[in-house]
Amino acid sequence: MRYLAFGDSLTAGMTNGHKDYPPAAFIQRLLGEKHIVVQEGIGGDLLEDMPRRLRTSLTERAAKHRGAVNCVIFWGGTNDIRCGRSAEDVFEHFGQVIETCRVNNSKLIVLTLPEMECEKAGSGSIGLNRKLFNELLKTNADEGRYRIVDIASAIPYFFLSGEEEKKQWYCDGLHFTKNGYEKVARLVIDVIRRRM
């Protein structure tokens, strides 16, 4: 099986200036050598730009390895929401990701967007749009278009019991620590083993 972990800085496993811990590396270790897991997360990438990059990547990988990527593990949209784009607009671009995977015969696993410390500031539109985007992801997953991993519920920033617990999972109010990224990987593995 060939897996492509695709998205933004969360996919890249970025921390606040320290060593990166891409979930793909943990997923690779947990799946073993019979599987190939490639990481293509780019810090600051917007979902509106991702379908084109994903099409190119899937096409090039299919040609290089004489076979399609079996499954895309997608985690994107955080930067779009933080920039003030509406959930509906961001989800429209996500529709192109779904179609790209379908055309390339790649299954799709999608991770919800985690809570962000910046949601406390301003009018609250960032938090509302993140929640709505996640609901749109879940609704369409129920229609069988892809599998969902609910990171927002599994590692809820605002419901962690104090600063020490937050520091165990989050390094800066958005990105995770090594522990956080490893937990993300284990949640993805659960979906792969149960449903793929």
pLDDT at 121 over 80: no
pLDDT at 122: 58
Q: Exposed, middle or buried by CB within 10 Å (0-12, 13-18, 19+), for 192?
A: buried
Cα–Cα distances in Å, from 37 out to 73, 76, 109, 139, 187? 10, 18, 13, 27, 15
Residue in the structure block whose two tokens are 């509106």 = 48
In tens, the pLDDT along 70-91 reads 999 999 999 999 999 999 999 9
What is the distance between the alpha carbons of residues 97 and 31, in angstroms, rounded to a whole number?
24
What is the distance between the alpha carbons of residues 116 and 127, in angstroms, rounded to a whole number?
8
137 within 8 A of 148, measured Cβ to Cβ? yes
Domain span at 50:
2-195
Q: What is the pTM of this model?
A: 0.94
pLDDT at 157: 92
> For the chain, how many structural domains are there in total?
1
pLDDT at 148 over 90: yes
CATH number of the domain residue 31 falls in: 3.40.50.1110
